[in-house]
Structure 1
Amino acid sequence: MEKETLTKLGLYLAKKSVNKADVARKTKLSTYRLSQLSINPKSHLRVDELYLIALAIEADPGELLATICKDVKLPAGSK
């Protein structure tokens, strides 16, 4: 059985000690969706979900986006 690892969002939420049930209640996202976004790298986080999560945890949406996307770079040779 493969060990579950956290996604970048999952790591962020864990680091901030966020209660996912509380976030689900505030955002109207299901607890299942939040769990998938936290543990399944194939789950694609939509920008509206990111924004709602940031509002629910009183985080700056831009800072949350920058944290989650810190490894995203333009392809070599792109300008």
Structure 2
Amino acid sequence: MVTKLGEYFKLKSVNKADIARKAKLTSPRLTELSNNPTAKLRADELYLIALAMDVSPCELLEFVCGDLKVKPQS
């Protein structure tokens, strides 16, 4: 199964090994974040990945977390 981060990588046609190297993450960690929906993406990882891809961290955050909603108070 592909995560939202994995979808973003496909959309941008990135080389994950290159991104992992630039972001100073291991390739297995980046693969886990791309394919495992239960993997927790840390804010520092998201920031470094965005910098390595030369995209706005806000753009990446919105793509990855844009479907989250605040529960209305009862």
Q: Which amino acid aligns with 2:55?
A: A
Work out the CA distance in 1 between the residues paired with 2:60 and 2:17. 19
Show CA shifts across 1:25-79 (max 9, x none): 111100000000000001000000000000000010001101111111100237x
State the 1:24 CA deviation: 1.0
Work out the CA distance in 2 between the residues paired with 1:62 and 1:27. 17
1:12 corresponding residue in structure 2: 8
Work out the CA distance in 2 between the residues paired with 1:61 and 1:9. 12
Work out the CA distance in 2 between the residues paired with 1:59 and 1:7. 18
TM-score by structure 2 length?
0.95
Give the one of 46, 50, 53 matched to 1:50. 46
Number of aligned residue pairs: give it. 74
TM-score by structure 1 length?
0.89
Work out the CA distance in 1 between the residues paired with 2:70 and 2:20. 33
- The Cα RMSD (Å) is 1.0
Q: Which has more radius of gyration?
A: 1
| 1:71 to 2:67 alignment | yes
Q: Which runs of 4+ in 1 moved over 2 A?
A: none
In structure 2, stretches of 5+ residues that fail to align are: none
